Amino acid sequence: MSYQTGTATDPEDLMTQLNTFLTGTPGWTANLFSAANNRAVWSKAGVSALLAAQWDSSAIGMGMIQAFVGDVTPTNQTGYEFTNDSITANRHINQAAGPYPSYHFFEDDDYIHVVVEISTGIYRHFGFGQSIKLGDWVGGMYSYGQYWDQSVANIDNPLTTIHNGALSGANSTNATRTDGVHAQGLPDQVGSTKYLRASSNQSTDDDAAVVGQFFPAGWSDGQNIHFMSAQDSQLNGFKPLIPIPFYQWYTPSAPDNARLMGYYPDVRTVNLEGLNPAQEITVGSDTWVVFPITRKGNNGLSFDQEQSYNFGLAYKKVTT
Amino acid sequence: MAKQTGTADNYLDLMTAFRDFITGVSPTISWITVRDTSTSPVGANSPNTTEMIFQGDASNGGSPARNLYFGIRSYETPASSIFGWELRGFTGFDPGSPLGSITFENQPDPSPPVYIPLQNTTMTYWFWANERRVMMVVKTGTSYQWMHAGFLDTFATENEYPYPLMVMGSTPSNTVPFSSNSLDFSTIIDPIGNGTETPISGATSPMWLRFADGQWYPIKNGSGTTTITEKRQRGVWPLVGYSAADWPTDGGTAAVREFRQRFYGTQAGATPSAFLAQTPGSPDDITPLYPLTIIFSEPSRQMIGEISGAFWVSASGGVTAEDEIFDKGVSPAQRYLVFQNIHRTDPWEFGAVKDE
């Protein structure tokens, strides 16, 4: 039940501030925080797995583990979801050398959502926590980052599937940079599978178990896509803030098998037309803060810099 | 809120059962009959063109808190085994002077007609009513016919959208028998009409909504007879089609996992790209329900409102017509009844009604 905003100089400064924040009022445990080794592990009762973070001078990586071992690399923890300790090959935020003009920590109950302004007007999103689960499958922890491809061909096209993360999409052929969820016991899961990731390809985890596929139906694809296009209501100017569901999406079958697994807490998709980054929207007694996926941009404006049209995310600002 | 299920002897008997139900439910639901020619014919009505016009009072049901009007009129062509009801929405009722001189179709601001094909024999029915709307499902042979009349649950206040009346039958044609398997015989979750958009008055659809500008708009997800062409101007989510042309996100390209792309087949027996299966749960697996939501891409891209108590549901996993789904996340558990879209039995062709 807290929110914090501020500035940070670089990844280490941001992660240090995040660690202080998480272990304060939110009540997360820092099983590990090592500024010397640039890594951390956080956990909290009610969250089905642990989050292992790493950072270097320009990127912050994050993945889930099953148990904490000690001040060792993620692959030496128990049940890491990736097969190697690379930051940039796996889930991370890129182009994040800093200094950051602003950051925002949104937290309540069992999640932390972080928005980082990596340079003026350009944003990255990452976070983790316990999802709002449907059904009795085991798990529920989610972890997301945001990789934004910098090639001239892709940097100004938010809908190319070469970008990954920020709670959306599942058509990337990259199986390791995408969002993930801890899930066990669902149909179509191979026996020892512990994780699903948002990719068109299956992969494996550190235990050589199959990592299945899931689909966060967020800003770029899925059931919310009509609403992402919605303008202000001509009746009252209202703009929809739409919850983000996620689905198990098993492609080896024919046809695919999809199952609604749950929702991400306190984050919504929003069309930013008429809204500014970090603008607050009041809905009843709730306050939501909106951000572009990377940078608010215009139709067809191919200026070879990061832009994400009017695609945006709204985070609930819980302060009491 | 009330519900009744039973059998009627024929399509005319069903009218009186429907009338008796909605005018006889609890005192807080104030539907009354303002015209009824079943017992007292007026004007030029014949026994087989029975008219009933109803007035509701939505003041106990939220916004808008005002009276609402709709009417049903029987029709038949026995040689073609065609029997049914015509349904229209109105903004008021004019009894005429002399009494009955204002015809059914000349009542105040009438909607275009929609039709509910029925039978001249015994049928099982389900009626639901609350202060804002009535719904009906009737089993005709192996098909299920649908009707809705009443206010949409809008994303607007009464001042912003004073009279969101929506009427829905199973077909825009009174020449369709209940047994038709036509591609364009489709409603509720996926209404199909013709492709006419200009003028609006030239369109056909089994679903019409009176918008805030006072005009009746056809709501449909597709058009055609032998093949269905997606229509995306004013449709019913989640099955309404998506294209970047109609739903641009400032230059966005086509999504690939929206519902129509993935869970919908273009013809009976088709294999869609994906099945939406049930989520394992205890004691029961979970069958997700998606609120049927009217969305416009014209004149601007916006969400208009939800069809009260009506949902799209995937029938993957053995769900079939007349099945019950329980939401046990509320106490007492909320029941929903599943029905197919008229003659269709494919997994993407089912709707559910909140059992009130």
Question: Residue A226 is nearest to which of B155, B212, B240, comparing CB atoms?
Answer: B240
Cβ pair A183, A248 in contact under 8 A: yes
**What is the value of ipTM here, to two decimals?**
0.94
User: Mean pLDDT over residues A51-58, rounded?
Assistant: 98
- DSSP line for B131-166: SSEEEEEEEETTEEEEEEEEE-EESS-TTTSS--EE
pLDDT the model gives residue B250 = 58
Cβ pair A213, A181 in contact under 8 A: no
Residue A228 and residue B258: Cβ atoms within 8 Å? no
Distance from C-alpha of B278 to C-alpha of A245, rounded to nearest angstrom: 15
Residue A3 has pLDDT above 80, yes or no: yes
- Mutation site, B211, B240, B257, B262, interface A, largest A CB count within 10 A: B257
A233 interaction partners in chain B (CB closer than 8 Å): 155-156, 302-303
Task: Quote the tokens at residue A290.
Answer: 């909106």
pLDDT the model gives residue B43 = 44
pLDDT the model gives residue B42 = 46
Which chain B residue is nearest to residue A232, measuring alpha carbons?
A: B302
Q: Tell me the pLDDT band of A299, cut-offs 50, 70 and 90.
A: low
B242 interaction partners in chain A (CB closer than 8 Å): 225-226
- Residues linked to residue A116 through DSSP beta bridges, in sequence order: A103, A124
Residue A239 has pLDDT above 50, yes or no: yes
Residue A9 has pLDDT above 60, yes or no: yes
Residue A220 and residue B262: Cβ atoms within 8 Å? no
Task: Identify which has the larger pLDDT, A52 or B24.
Answer: A52
pLDDT the model gives residue B45 = 47
pLDDT the model gives residue A14 = 98
**Residue A93 belongs to what domain range?**
2-317
- DSSP line for B220-272: -SEE-SSSPEE--SEEEETTS---TTTS-SSS----SSSHHHHH--SSTT---
Distance from C-alpha of B335 to C-alpha of B354, rounded to nearest angstrom: 6
Distance from C-alpha of B100 to C-alpha of B82, rounded to nearest angstrom: 26
Q: Which H or E run contains A228?
A: helix A225-229
Of the candidates B353, B292, B290, B289, the one whose C-alpha atom is nearest the C-alpha of residue B321 is B353
Query: Is-cis flag, bond preceding B177, omega within 30?
Result: no
Q: How far does the CA of residue B210 sit from the closest CA of chain A (Å)?
A: 14
Cβ pair A197, A178 in contact under 8 A: yes
Residue B161 and residue A300: Cβ atoms within 8 Å? no
Q: Tell me the pLDDT band of A68, cut-offs 50, 70 and 90.
A: very high
Count structural domains, chain A. 1
Which chain A residue is nearest to residue B243, measuring alpha carbons?
A: A226
Which chain A residue is nearest to residue B251, measuring alpha carbons?
A: A299
Residue A297 has pLDDT above 90, yes or no: no
| pLDDT tens, residue by residue, A138-171 | 999 999 999 999 999 889 888 888 999 999 988 8
Cβ pair A287, A281 in contact under 8 A: yes
Cβ pair B355, B335 in contact under 8 A: yes
Residue B258 and residue A227: Cβ atoms within 8 Å? no
Question: Residue B250 is nearest to which of A256, A260, A310, comparing CB atoms?
Answer: A310
What is the reported pTM?
Answer: 0.95
Q: Is the dihedral of CA B5, B9, B10, B15 positive or negative?
A: negative
Q: Tell me the pLDDT band of A88, cut-offs 50, 70 and 90.
A: very high
- Sheet of strand B32-36, all strands in order from the earlier edge strand to the far edge: B32-36, B51-57, B67-77, B82-90, B114-118
Q: How far does the CA of residue A247 sit from the closest CA of chain B (Å)?
A: 9
Count of C-beta atoms within a 10 Å radius of residue B230: 19
| pLDDT tens, residue by residue, B59-98 | 877 789 999 999 999 999 999 999 999 999 999 999 999 9
- Residues linked to residue A210 through DSSP beta bridges, in sequence order: A204
CA dihedral A244, A245, A246, A250 (to 10 degrees): -130
Q: How far does the CA of residue B279 sit from the closest CA of chain A (Å)?
A: 6
Question: Residue B249 is nearest to which of A186, A240, A311, comparing CB atoms?
Answer: A311
- What phi and psi, each to the nearest 5 degrees, are found at residue B24? -115, 5
Q: How far does the CA of residue A254 sit from the closest CA of chain B (Å)?
A: 8
B155 interaction partners in chain A (CB closer than 8 Å): 233, 235-236, 238, 240
pLDDT the model gives residue B28 = 72
Distance from C-alpha of B303 to C-alpha of B311, rounded to nearest angstrom: 16
- What parts of chain B have a pLDDT lower than 70? 1, 40-47, 249-255
pLDDT the model gives residue B254 = 55
* Contacts across the A-B interface (CB distance below 8 Å): 138
Residue A229 and residue B279: Cβ atoms within 8 Å? no
B248 interaction partners in chain A (CB closer than 8 Å): 229, 299
